[in-house]
Amino acid sequence: MAPPSCRMHSRNRNYKAEFASCRLEAVPLEFGDYHPLKPITVTESKTKKVNRKGSTSSTSSSSSSSVVDPLSSVLDGTDPLSMFAATADPVALAAATDSSRRKRDRDDNSVVGSDFEPWANKRGEILARYTTTEKLSINLFMGSEKGKAGTATLAMSEKVRTRLEELDDFEEGSQKELLNLTQQDYVNRIEELNQSLKDAWASDQKVKALKIVIQCSKLLSDTSVIQFYPSKFVLITDILDTFGKLVYERIFSMCVDNRSVLPDHFSPENANDTAKETCLNWFFKIASIRELIPRFYVEASILKCNKFLSKTGISECLPRLTCMIRGIGDPLVSVYARAYLCRVGMEVAPHLKETLNKNFFDFLLTFKQIHGDTVQNQLVVQGVELPSYLPLYPPAMDWIFQCISYHAPECDAHLLYGDSPCTLCLLMLMGPLHNSYSNVSTSQPL
């Protein structure tokens, strides 16, 4: 036990004095000084002057003590934002939006130079070359009409539930198959679907528009008439291009307010929360598509919309879509999927050569599948010989070659170092294979 002199004792403290010393210094407030809680007194002065001869000037003043609520002006429309919106000219705003859209379209077309041959130039040649006399089939959407009338009175939760039910109804097979169509009838049906897509979008039936696009994308997995597949690809991708443009323009219009429009080369910071939320909603809806091929094509069609979300959205999305194509077993279907991904990639990010190279080398690895049992059995069933089957690849391969070789360096070291291959390297890699199924010689440009 410690001696009494070493024991611990509590120190006596004066808490009132300590509390008084820690308090803020009080400043006396004299009568009449401003205080934040004091009611605001508004004084109105009226002065009336008469300049006639023999008269005097009279001044009268009145004072009223009333509290002015700054938020009450919103109710009567006298706040600055309401007054600015009321004076905005809708015609001038629409003209500015149209001018910005036209300028943006010109800039989008100038992403690649004039020396790059556009896809539109190849479209007519493919349709004219790949024809068939066999009968074709197509599935037409025969969805229910629920949710089209009276949607304005539905609550938001009911609208969401109705849309989900419509999508489930479509996924479960509410379709009607048309058989024994000639090639011209098939083309007419596809054009009708394209017009139905535009009409549904104009009438604010976004779910129906998405159904049409999903339905058309599913047709690209059908190779029952394999010789017509390149032309079918051209027709279906026209619908996908229309859908992608409609979605992009809708989200872009949400970023336009009464004061300004988005700049030509905008960043995600320029897009408001409403536009970003709508953009994410589209991507989430597409991600819920069960089948691989329609999910890939529909997402690739709105690839450009990633610009509203993040600066690296496109560069992150392209490699993922490239990996998705590896899940397509048919080599002909997969090579045209690669061609479409290269096409939309060149439109939004032509500098990202890595994805183009991956698609090219993936094709080299999977081309040997044409000698597999699956493809050979399919050719036997349709009565198609291998020399007639191989010419179906050039439209897709030529486009991939064109994208890769665009502004590629002219050297012969790419095969050793794994960089972006130039035209010479492409010919060295594909030479015998490419010459076996097309009439393109090594002296002709790709």
Strands 136-141 and 175-181: antiparallel
Query: In the prediction, which pLDDT does 421 show?
Result: 52
Buried b (16+ CB within 10 A) or exposed e, 127-149: beebebeeebebbebebeeebbe
Query: In the prediction, which pLDDT does 94 show?
Result: 59
Rounded CA gap, 365 and 376, in Å?
18
Rounded CA gap, 299 and 219, in Å?
16
pTM confidence score? 0.65
Q: Give residue-wise pLDDT tens across range 271-306.
A: 888 888 999 999 999 999 999 999 999 999 999 888
Question: What residue spans of 262-352 are helical by DSSP H?
Answer: 273-287, 292-301, 313-325, 331-348
Q: Which segments in the chain show pLDDT lower than 70?
A: 1-6, 26-111, 139-177, 257-264, 409-446
Count of other CB atoms within 10 angstroms of residue 250: 16
Query: In the prediction, which pLDDT does 81 show?
Result: 58
Percent of the chain as helix, strand, coil, to the nearest 5: 60, 5, 35
Query: In the prediction, which pLDDT does 101 show?
Result: 58
Strand partners, 177: 139
- The amino acid sitting at 199 is D
Q: Give residue-wise pLDDT tens across range 247-269.
A: 999 988 887 765 566 666 777 78
Over the chain, what is the mean pLDDT?
74
Decide if 421 contacts 354 (C-beta within 8 A).
Answer: no
Token pair for 387:
């020399």
Rounded CA gap, 185 and 132, in Å?
12
